[in-house]
Structure 1
Amino acid sequence: MITNLHDFLHQYFTLHDCDVITENNTEMTIKLTRELDQVLMNRPFYWHYMDKIGRIGEPMSLYLDTSTKKKDNKKEWIHFGSPRLQQIFHHIKQNARFTILYEETSGDIKTPLHPWLVTNIMVHYRGKQKKESIHSIGLQLINGMMKANMMKHLDTFTMDLRMSDYSFTISPIIKPASGFNRIFHYLEHSLLEEDMQWVEESKKALREEIQLLDYFFHQQEENKEILEKEKERLTERLEPRIEIEIINAGLFYLTEKSSQAIIKD
């Protein structure tokens, strides 16, 4: 899901008014705003000093590489589990759990805006080998159309916190609460279609580890409590399971033309 990660990062920085200076399929250079510099770059003394002497200050830039493997370059490799990505997720959770945005229009004629519920979800795979993936799913709340990789579609539109003149929203037929349920069912169905070989490998590894423990602790009643704690620890580490975490969500109101373009893509 590295492509999704790259698109997710692009959307994150642009929605926070950062300039994407250069970009290709796996690399990007971002000029941070003061807000994100303070969030991501750990320079509290610098900004305190700038405020004290009455200067604006200069936000830093990030040079990111979203490749599946670290390259021999000067860019920061950002991937699932990297400290930088965890910073970003923490910021989103603290400040942008839910948003409402409107597509910008010319403001010259009356323009209806169609509601989309968009949810970015982190899927954690727990077991012998741990991994994560991001799913960006959009649900059109009028006709029920579902779209994957929704953030990639939204990246082509100009969105604003305020509605343009002469625009108006269409009330959703599908309520957001029901929409979330549909999205989760859609995601669960997608996950069930994935290769589940990792589940069997994790179960096998857990069985073998427990058998090994039983062998070493055989007929040692005084260590029975230690044995049970070790089994609990192994089960927590190796038992296969999938955990779903909402990163953020929002209502995005799009023109009929934009909605149709997403549906047809």
Structure 2
Amino acid sequence: MAIKNLNSFLHDYFSAQHCTILNNNDGLLQVKLTEEIDKALMNRPFYWHYMKKMGREGDTSTLTLITNPDKREEKGDWIHFGSPRLQQILRNLVENEKYTKLFQSSSSSTKSALYPWLVINIKISYHGKQNKDEILSLGLHLIKGLMYKDMMDLLQNVTLKPTIDDYCYTIAPIIRLESGFGRIVNVLDSYINNQTHNWAQESLQTLEEEVGLIKHFYTSSTDEETNDDHMQREIDDMKQRYSPKVTYKVVNGGIFYLNDEF
């Protein structure tokens, strides 16, 4: 599921940036970038400076992004949680596209209601002996209180736009944003609490072993006062490194107005 969600996340990101999806098949996504995204991701400042100086449009790059492990040897960027390219995309989102408001497109010629959803993509980071990141996409219906996990997957075939269509109108939310975000955090807490945390136990065991070695090393020294200070600093550093913890960080999100049958 993580691989599927990652592919969907990348597809939605590049589609929202108006890039052209050339191919999206079995964990292989090929995208023709816009000039703006090329400048943000491809590190070609001299090329674009030269094109501007010459008064030419320039040719944007084509990216091939691979999320299927069976295809990781093919030509392209192997994308996984923690990969440099994914971190670059996440930074771009944080810096430029963190919050948005979008409306579902409708071809109806009659009045159609659009209902508010709070949609948030959140990065969960597991810190310990081994560090790992995971992205969850959660959507909360701000009228009915329904909540969906993998919200971006559900929206994959929904056409969204920054302006509302002529025959559509929005329904005001009943659930306040602050309260809605609190509900999402509660779901995240429950998700974490229901996991098995062998990684945390391994981190605590490693921490105990490392602290024991540090104490053993310093017990044979004659300069007790100086060694106590050094020993405590090393123990504190080791605790900082190995003490298990879980943190949340909002990657991006917004209010999405959707019809009742999206």
TM-score, normalised to structure 1, is: 0.94
Q: Which residue of 1 aligns with 2:81?
A: 80
Task: For 1:38-57, list aligned pairs within 5 A.
Answer: 38-57=39-58
> How much has 1:224 moved relative to structure 2?
2.1
8 A contact 1:19–1:30 mirrored in 2:
yes
Deviation at 1:2, TM superposition (A): 2.3
Does 212-221 or 38-47 show the bigger shift? 212-221
Which residue of 1 is the match for residue 203 of structure 2? 202
CA distance in 2, matches of 1:94, 1:67: 28
CA distance in 1: counterparts of 2:194 and 2:230, whole angstroms: 39
1:224 aligns with 2:228: yes
In 2: Cα distance, 1:226 partner to 1:94 partner: 40
Aligned with 1:253 (options 236, 254, 257): 257
- In structure 2, the residue matched to 1:29 is 30
Deviations 1:136-173 (A, max 9, x none): 00000011001000001111110000000021100011
Cα distance, 1:219 vs. partner? 4.4
Q: In the alignment, which residue of structure 1 is the partner of 2:119?
A: 118
Provide the residue aligned with 2:131 in structure 1.
130
Alignment match, 1:170: 171
Q: CA deviation at 1:14?
A: 0.5
Q: How many residues are treated as equivalent by the alignment?
A: 258
- Identical aligned residues as a percent: 41
Structure 1 residues 179-234: Cα deviation after superposition (integer angstroms, max 9, x where no partner) = 00000101110111111111111111110110011101114322222211211211
For residue 236 of structure 1, what is the aligned residue in structure 2? 240
Post-superposition Cα deviations, 1:10-37, rounded to whole Å, max 9, x if no partner, equal 1100100111111223211111000100
Distance 1:34 1:159 in 2: 22
CA distance in 1, matches of 2:7, 2:198: 27
- CA deviation after TM superposition for structure 1 residue 246, in Å: 0.5
Tell me the distance in 2 between the aligned counterparts of 1:206 and 1:68: 33
Structure 2 unaligned spans of 5+: none
Amino acid at match of 2:60: P
1:185 partnered with 2:186: yes
Is contact 2:119-2:138 (8 Å) kept?
yes
* Paired letter, 1:100: K
Question: Relative to structure 1, is the Cα distance of residues 148 and 189 closer, same or farther in structure 2, using a 3 angstrom cutoff?
Answer: same
Q: Which runs of 5+ in 1 are unaligned?
A: 259-265
Tell me, in whole angstroms, the C-alpha distance in 1 between the residues paired with 2:239 and 2:194. Answer: 25
Counterparts of 1:234 and 1:111 in 2: how far apart (Å)?
59
Structure 1 residue 83, shift from structure 2 partner: 1.5
Secondary structure of the equivalent of 2:261? helix
Question: SS at the partner of 2:31?
Answer: strand
Quote the offset at 1:67 in angstroms.
3.2
Equivalent residue of 2:158, what SS?
Answer: coil
